A and B are shown apart, each in its own frame.
Chain A
Amino acid sequence: MSRIDTPAVGRMQTIARNPVMIALVMTLAIAGCASKKNMPNNANELGLGGAGAATPGSQQDFTVNVGDRIFFDTDSTSIRADAQQTLARQAQWLAKYPNYAITIEGHADERGTREYNLALGARRAASTRDYLVSQGVPANRMKTISYGKEKPVAVCDDISCWSQNRRAVTVLGGAGM
């Protein structure tokens, strides 16, 4: 995994701040790992079919076409304008596919202490959930979980990575409290 993760992260740094592109790169990275084991034989399974090729209503459709994550400013839990658009799309999609339960994962960047970041991630998950509720997603479909700073997606020592790690990810299914 580590050999594949490293170039993926490098690419993410160069295209930071475009959530959809980041999500796409991540999908490719994950699919790239899987392909070595499973030898998928069509473009959809490889995740190479481009944005339009994902099966409507699938996890991939949600991740690629809607955007599964939003980003936060340093130490902030408020939903930015770009994030509001993403969450509005998420709410529409979730209304169309009402069978999915959802877990919202809150994350923090590494520039804080462990305990505080657990609470900060929980705050971000809660504000994301509340915004989705305001967009019509029933509260009882959603659980939240915070991973604090323990699950970064981007690794470097500057803001280009930290800004990608300050995130809330809407996970179809998933687990939380």
Chain B
Amino acid sequence: MIKVSLFRALMVAAGMLVAVVAAAPANAEVVIDINKGKVEPLPIAVTDFLQGELGQKISDVVAADLKRSGLFAPINKGAFIEKISNPDATPRFEDWKVINAQALVTGRVTQEGDGRLKAEFRLWDTFGSKQMTGQQFFTQPENWRRVAHIIADAIYESVTGEKGYFDTRIVYVAESGPKTARKRQLAIMDQDGFNARALTNSNDIVLTPRFSPNRQEVTYMSFENQQPRVYLLQLETGQREVVGNFPGMTFSPRFSPDGQRVIMSLQQDGNANIYTMDLRSRTTTRLTNTAAIDTAPSYSPDGSQIAFESDRGGGQQIYVMGADGSGQRRISFGDGRYSTPVWSPRGDLIAFTKQSGGKFSIGVMKPDGSGERILTTGFHNEGPTWAPNGRVLMFFRQGAGAGGPQLYSIDISGYNEQPIQTQGFASDPAWSPLLE
């Protein structure tokens, strides 16, 4: 197994630069209103950070993050007029306005005496002729991509007023080989597809990995020893354990928002019911009790409610219940079958997979079932997961025939669908929270 580096060991220190003008997005003239649906991307000039190759690489990662969000249109560096030689000096705004750069990013990377990397950046409002924000970060040199993502998050937040999602990771199932003999491994990567590495070997089928709220653990299902059960994996140590001692297959696990419980399905004969296990006391609680398939449970972000799917009424539909199993009620009533509900981290929407007319769609609805919107439809789309700011979904798409699944992201507006580059086939993505 490949050693997993730690989120918490990254030790990124952040500090505001002295010369920062108060970065209140409401006052800034460069503002993207991301509630408008389809957004005209903001032209932005991301200059190469000084000095040398690493500075250029960091600015490339920043620009790529911003571009992929669909909210920014990084301008080709070849169009730049002013050559930034001092990223702390006020730029010649006229040179940037002439190429229609609404915003400008300048920066510098230097090595500290203790070997750490120091990365600084400034975000300028060119038409307002002022600095919007400036920050600096210290980290180990090998974490340069992470610093770039943090800088992209700071730019995103400064311009949109919403938290970014670039300093995040995706845990997923990496698939390889023919469909009839498919190999599966848990894997983890940065949200842009870089730094991918395996978390398990390919000896056993593994499915549906989900992050813990602190990003230190992953719960997933494995067929290890031909006993299909829910496991817990410590990313730091690689230590694994079975969750609970249940008398049958356990599957479809997910953490509670406080990280204290794992919620999952237990299969007994023809029925699947939903249970929780408290990770400290090891006590289990049964939440549903039907002669049906109750599965894919997902907590609301405040932990008070649980969305799940059930075929108790015939086909698969989405239901909501209290965290104690009380008040179970169906919320999906459209044509077709609804499954894999996932509650948004903002609490305002539930994402789902919908099967209708031989197609598989990804959609969102409000927690009361109203306001259904389909974001993408095709031969097979499945398994949405939310970016931590609740603005973007990732899911997997399977074509017809012998190929394999691939990951895609899409804005909740339904625009800006983007493939996520992975080395081989990939399915079951789960988006990590932001590190606070």
Contact = CB atoms under 8 A, between A and B. Distances in A.
B207 A122 contact: no
Contacts of B339: 113, 115-116
B238 interface: no
B52 interface: no
Contact of A155 (B178, B221, B316): B178
**Chain B facing A: main interface SS:** mixed
Contact of B182 (A115, A126, A127, A150): A150
Interface in A116-158: 116, 118-120, 122-123, 126-127, 145-148, 150-157
A21 interface: no
A172 to B, nearest CB: 14
Interface residues of A, number: 37
B208 to A, nearest CB: 7
Interface string B171-204: 0000001111110100000000000000000000
A65 interface: no
B383 interface: yes
Contact of A123 (B270, B340, B355, B379): B270
Interface residues of B, number: 48
B311 to A, nearest CB: 8
A2 interface: yes
B167 interface: no
Given A145-B226, A177-B227, A115 B180 contact: no
Given A114-B208, A127-B270, A145-B226, A2 B382 contact: no
Given A110-B380, A110-B398, A122-B249, A150 B296 contact: no
Contacts, number: 114
Contact of A126 (B207, B228, B252, B269): B269
A147 B249 CA distance: 11
A56 interface: no
B225 A120 contact: no
A9 interface: yes
Given A110-B380, A120-B293, A155-B401, A5 B180 contact: yes
B181 A123 contact: no
A132 to B, nearest CB: 14
Contacts of B401: 155-157
A115 B270 contact: no
B393 to A, nearest CB: 15
A175 B182 CA distance: 19
B408 interface: no
Contact of A150 (B207, B252, B379): B207
Contact of B272 (A6, A119, A176): A119
B178 A146 contact: no
Contacts of A39: none
B319 interface: no
Nearest to A124: B270
A2 B207 contact: no
A115 B265 contact: yes
Given A119-B251, A123-B269, A177-B248, 18 more contacts: A5-B181, A110-B380, A111-B355, A113-B316, A115-B208, A119-B265, A119-B267, A119-B293, A122-B249, A122-B267, A126-B269, A146-B267, A147-B205, A150-B207, A154-B180, A157-B379, A175-B226, A177-B228
11 contacts: A1-B181, A5-B181, A111-B358, A114-B383, A114-B428, A115-B295, A115-B309, A116-B295, A119-B265, A150-B182, A174-B226
